[in-house]
Amino acid sequence: MHDDIPLTTGRARRVLDERITPAVHATATPLETAWHELPGEPIPPTEGLQLDFTPYEVGTTWGAAWGTTWFRLTGTVPDAWAGRRIEAVIDLGFDKNMPGFQCEGLVYLADGTPVKSINPRNQWVLVTERAEGGETVELFVEAASNPVLLDYHPFLVTQEGDIETSSPKRLYTSRRMDLAVFESEVHELALDIDVLLELQAELPEGPRRMRILQALDDALDRLDLQHIAETAPDARAALADVLAAPAEASAHTISAVGHAHIDSAWLWPVRETIRKVARTTSTMTELIDQTDDFLYGMSSAQQYAWIKEHRPEVYARVTAAVEAGRFLPIGGMWVESDTVMPTGESIVRQFSQGQRFFEREFGIRPKGVWLPDSFGYSPALPQLMRRAGFEWFFTQKISWNQVNKFPHHTFLWEGIDGSRVFSHFPSMDTYNSRLSGSEVAKASRQFRENRLATGSIAPVGWGDGGGGTTREMTGTAARLADLEGSAKVRWEHPDVFFDRAKAELPNPPVWVGELYLELHRATLTSQHQTKQGNRRSEQLLLEAELWAATAAARTDFAYPYDELDALWQQVLLQQFHDILPGTSIAWVHREAVAKYAETAARLTALIESALSALAGAGDATIVVNPAPFLQAGAPAQGAVLATDVTEPTPVTVTEQDGGWVLANALVRVVVDGSGHVTSAVDLTTGRDAVAAGQVANLLQLHQDFPNMWDAWDVDRYYRNRVEDLVDASSVTADLDERTGVARVVVERAFGDSSVRQEITLAPDSRTLEFDQTTDWHETEKFLKVAFPLDVRAEHTVAETQFGAQKRVTHTNTSWEAAKFETSMHRYVLVSEPGFGVALVNDSIHGFDTTRDAVDGHVTTTVRLSLLRAPRFPDPETDQGVQTHRYGMVIGTDQLGATAAGVVMNASARTVTGGQGFEPLVRVSGDVVLSSVKLADDRSGDLVVRVYEPVGRRGTGGIAVSGDLGRGGFGRGAEVTLLEEPLADASAVDASSFAVDAYEVRTFRFPRVRG
């Protein structure tokens, strides 16, 4: 027998695409259309429905970039359609390959009831399940003309990414606005054929595949192409047997959950995301109503909060679907944040703000952390997840690795402190599955735990820009529930999947340390002002909480719960994984920088108000230190009168060989005539931190044009071309007699840019500081600053949340070689026994390390990543004036690096008042104070968080001071990161407790009223 497979499959595909699919809505009549184009920003639907509309003709262009057009569609159901299901079919000019990335709309009834969204893969709207002849129809469409920025030729430079620079030209041409009969049997036939076509493509040339092909031929022979609707049932009958054949007993099981992965901002601004969430959730609730078993999962409390505020009519439907158990709040975070750059306190607040919202709104506390698309995952996360009460972790982004294939799909992830969290990566390698044959087959074929475990998760739906699951996907899932040759598919809550996976894998494999993404490494540097604003906001939030809690405990100051919550939520939103990493359009980052400035102003006002209450009336100058470490002129986390500050011993500045020597009691630094550091000696050991014959503070400029993903990526070959910026146009030195600080000022020009550096050494400080202002006007360049250090370091130690992570300095394996750009928080340390050097910073996250050797003498070069200049998606990335502050700590260890990093980010401030004051909280032993705040439940209890910073076991203690007769705080008990009791909290004494390496401990002290 001759089997011509391409003939059958080609026939089936053409008939499906050109005859069957169009026949689903073949019987149609045009709707009368009218429109109203808004001149500016969107308006509430209640206003949109009341607009004046003028006639519109389908085929007319509409919608400038970022515009909103309201359409009114009216019509009458023909008498001949009585008893039929009627749908409106609306094509605004869609490209079916770009759901979520172009125009879309939300359909309303005249009374303001939201129906569902329309988008390139979802162009239908239910009008009535059973029509009555002569029935009138009136629909309104709030249509968004979002520009296509990630086109078929991606990463093209465009000014369309900001409403301030976008073109007024209309972008879209409508194609169809019809009332149509929905031919259900034709729709079902289309799904039958599509599922079988995709299934057979993944099968070997055996009996099962051949019988599917024969059934397809038989079905097409029965189908009259001029009478599709009439003959579709007979064609389906020819496919019934092959669709009824059950799956093998050992078939892989896919736990499907509806998904849309709506980026909280990316190639659209936050204001458009709010509408995307409303559009998607309206469609998902409609799909829930139309199905029996479909489950839709959505993370990000922020997105629920948006629709509650801006689209309450949609939120009501979401709430009802949540109560029915069909719409699943998952993830437990405020947003799906970046997890590499935010501080530990920010991650804690992502959890606490998210869980508080879900519990308050729905009485639900998600059990897992759902982060499919963040750009790498900090090794501090397992501990934080567990201490916040989470039971599992889900992502898939590591499947994007450039070089190394991750060895597990279901495993335990162990963090820096030894905590482990049960984790899963979907083996189909996507968070936007449509349950295609190739995806389903891939999930089964490459699942790494096939020997013991039976299944994996599939997030199903169009995503990134929203859209979610379609009825085609739910129809596919129904056919794949139990189908020979395929994995089994069922809609299932992730909690159920994880419970089963844990039972199947009682001894899962373990992955230790960071989940480093071998891609998107440049997200540690792009959009510097966004990162700088985040770092500053994080510190100001903690400072505001500290002084507000202190003032509330000792004075009549009212703790600003509402304002702190609102400010935290704003900062947490901007930690979303396409905002903080610098990968969004210009509009997003312009707004983010403005929001950071607003946040800083509001927090500064809060801080000043609390400090005014604490300092009292008077005109004395008071020095206030928010850091838990000593810094010049201030105690650890307290305040003293400036008159009580010891006068500094000035640093000496002497000229030498055309340069200068800066020296204090601890270090001696030589800066040459070109502004480079040629020597930095630790006077305690006599060791020079700078490698012999080399210079530190060497600015280096690289060509930077990655293969793709401009704002995201830096590819290894960038190192092949480098320009050392050695020439200086001016180098001067002076000594500030008032502060005793020595300063060298260096000015350089290169390309179209210029740099001004102030190199300073303060009395009794081991840190040589660099305050740099760059007027940056380069294109596709990468600016770094190099520090070749005379240290034989086997590892770098880089701060992460509540601790640090070690990375080897060699590249013995492909795993190490892939980490050519890595992350840090406030410091990176390189050391050998007896001597170490740290680089600290106030807003830098990326660095690279090389291990160098001359005649067997090994040194270590660390380079900080300062600025980039990608052209997509923001063609003006980092252009203009940028500031950096960083320092070289000469002769230090990990605790010293921690202290120097904290002090650089939490500088002392001065206020006017009548008295200084003691800290509210003091810690002792081997722990560092992280935060002091009043409890989220507004009980007035005090919450104190500490952590072990250097990776060794030790002890700690917390003491809370009295409050001048106003009452005080009772004995502290350990609580979770969500500030709730532990089962064994009574056994922990806050005044003296043991800590493990990098352990985070949170204590709650009950308020005792005076």
- Catalogue the active-site residues: 373
Tokens representing 306 are: 């948006």
Measured in Å, how far apart are the chain's first and last C-alpha atoms? 96
Structure letter (DSSP) for residue 79: G
CA 329/CA 967 separation, integer angstroms? 41
> 264 — alpha (psi -120 to 50), left (phi > 0) or beta?
alpha
Whether the ω angle into residue 560 lies within 30 degrees of 0, i.e. cis, is no
Q: How far is CA 124 from the centre of its chain?
A: 32
Q: How far is CA 599 from CA 548, 785, 895, 919, in A?
A: 16, 30, 31, 25
Tokens representing 942 are: 């005090």
Cβ burial 790-828 (10 Å sphere, 16+ → b, else e): bbbbebbbbbbbbbbbebbbeeeeeeeebbbbbbbbbbb
Neighbours of 237 (CB within 10 A): 12
Say whether 898 sits in a helix, a strand or coil: helix
Cβ burial 248-279 (10 Å sphere, 16+ → b, else e): eeebbbbbbbbbbbbbbbbbbbbbbbbbbbbb
Beta carbons within 8 Å of 267's beta carbon, 6+ residues apart: 101, 149, 150, 161, 465, 584, 585, 873
CA 262/CA 461 separation, integer angstroms? 11
Would you say the C-alpha torsion 521, 526, 528, 533 has a positive or negative sign? negative
Structure letter (DSSP) for residue 601: H
Taken as a whole, the chain contains a residue count of 1010
CA 180/CA 854 separation, integer angstroms? 78
The residue whose two tokens read 């060497």 is 698
**Helix 528-554 crosses helix 586-615 at what angle (to 10 degrees)?**
20
Q: What's 625-685 look like in SS3?
A: ECCCCCECCECCCEEEEHHHCCCCCCCEEEEECCEEEEECCCEEEEECCCCCEEEEEECCC
Burial class (CB in 10 A: 0-12, 13-18, 19+), 962: middle
Task: Say if CB 902 and CB 631 are below 8 A apart.
Answer: no
Tokens representing 104 are: 């879309």
Burial class (CB in 10 A: 0-12, 13-18, 19+), 406: middle
Say whether 385 sits in a helix, a strand or coil: helix
Beta carbons within 8 Å of 560's beta carbon, 6+ residues apart: 544, 548, 606
Q: Are strands 846-854 and 455-460 parallel, antiparallel or unpaired?
A: unpaired
Task: Say if CB 730 and CB 704 are below 8 A apart.
Answer: no
Enclosing H/E stretch for 270: helix 270-290
Say whether 123 sits in a helix, a strand or coil: coil
Q: What DSSP letter does each residue of 907-924 carry, written as one string?
A: --EEEEES--B--SEEEE
Cβ burial 387-405 (10 Å sphere, 16+ → b, else e): bbbbbbbbbbbbbeeeeee
Would you say the C-alpha torsion 283, 285, 286, 290 has a positive or negative sign? positive
CA 544/CA 609 separation, integer angstroms? 10
Q: What DSSP letter does each residue of 162-219 carry, written as one string?
A: STTT---SEEEE--EEEEEE--HHHHHHHHHHHHHHHHHHTS-SSHHHHHHHHHHHHH
